[in-house]
Amino acid sequence: MSKLENGLSDWYDRLRITPEVVENTKLREDHIPSKKTQQDVLDSSESEDEFDITKLDRNYEESEKYCEIIENWIRKVEDIDEDPFSDYYGFDIEGNNNCEMESIDLYDGFSQETASNYKFVWEGPTKHSKPFHGRGTVIFSNGDEMTGVWKNGVRQGRFSTTYSNNNIATIDGDYSSNHLNGSGGITFTDGSTIVGEFRNGCLHGLTRVMNCNGCIEWAGRYCNGRRCGTWWQFKPGGGVVTGMVDSNGNLTGENIIYIYPDFCTCLIGRFENGDFRSGYQANITALKLKMVNIFILHVF
């Protein structure tokens, strides 16, 4: 069976050659499972950005198979024809409105007031002999085009912008107050895409990243333009890596989990950029839904 068929990557091949990097779970007293029930785990560390899964979906009894729950959730996230996060858009876990990154929209702030800074042609209705009111298209001198609904000189509604000389091919999304705010998507020139939420031109909220073949590679949450919290990286063949990303948005650090394609067994330990370095075999013992519709795993 090839690497692509079993969902494992180079680091797992190294693991088979040097199995000593995986510790025996039974010898780790600090990881002996406690007598806490699943509900005890779900109720612990409750905060404003953590929710008992029963508040949003249903209560998973201990008798149910966690692997089936995880597999069903992953299948929904992998379905590029549906948006599993759509019911959760608009939930803001960050009160800070300041985006830490530059707006992904290269024409952020473009309006009737700033139009004199650009060379363009307006195609659409005018109001009192002035453009930028109603549905219309702006064609810039460099070939970029912006189409959508304008209201009194600013973008207000669904817009699509195509770029002729950039690694971004198109941006489609909802605009309010002349900024990309709400659901939207980015298509890059290589065919890969990002679909998620935006605020003030930055990614902010639940997000999925797909490669040029339409296969999902990442799912998680952005906060003010940066990856934050728990992310899931989907490996070729069915395995997934999940855990808290570091300050650079990478799955690097301790207590990161690789889930085998059976969705029941896993490895937990130290990872670098999604690659396993050292750790031990484990089993999934509880599920928590944190930051709305992103699963957090508890293992022993």
Chunked into runs of 10 residues, the chain (300 residues) has average pLDDT values of 40 43 38 36 41 40 66 82 66 52 86 92 79 90 94 92 91 91 93 93 91 92 89 89 93 93 88 93 71 55
What pLDDT is attached to residue 36? 36
What pLDDT is attached to residue 264? 80
What pLDDT is attached to residue 38? 35
Q: Which helix (H) or strand (E) element contains residue 5?
A: helix 3-6
**pTM higher than 0.75:** no
What is the amino acid identity at position 144? D
CA distance readout (Å), 151 to 131, 136, 190, 251 = 10, 10, 33, 42
Q: Could you give all domains of the chain from N- to C-terminal order, each with its CATH number?
A: 1-80+230-300 (2.20.110.10), 91-214 (2.20.110)
What pLDDT is attached to residue 212? 93
- Burial of residue 63 (number of CB atoms within 10 Å: 0-12, 13-18, 19+): exposed
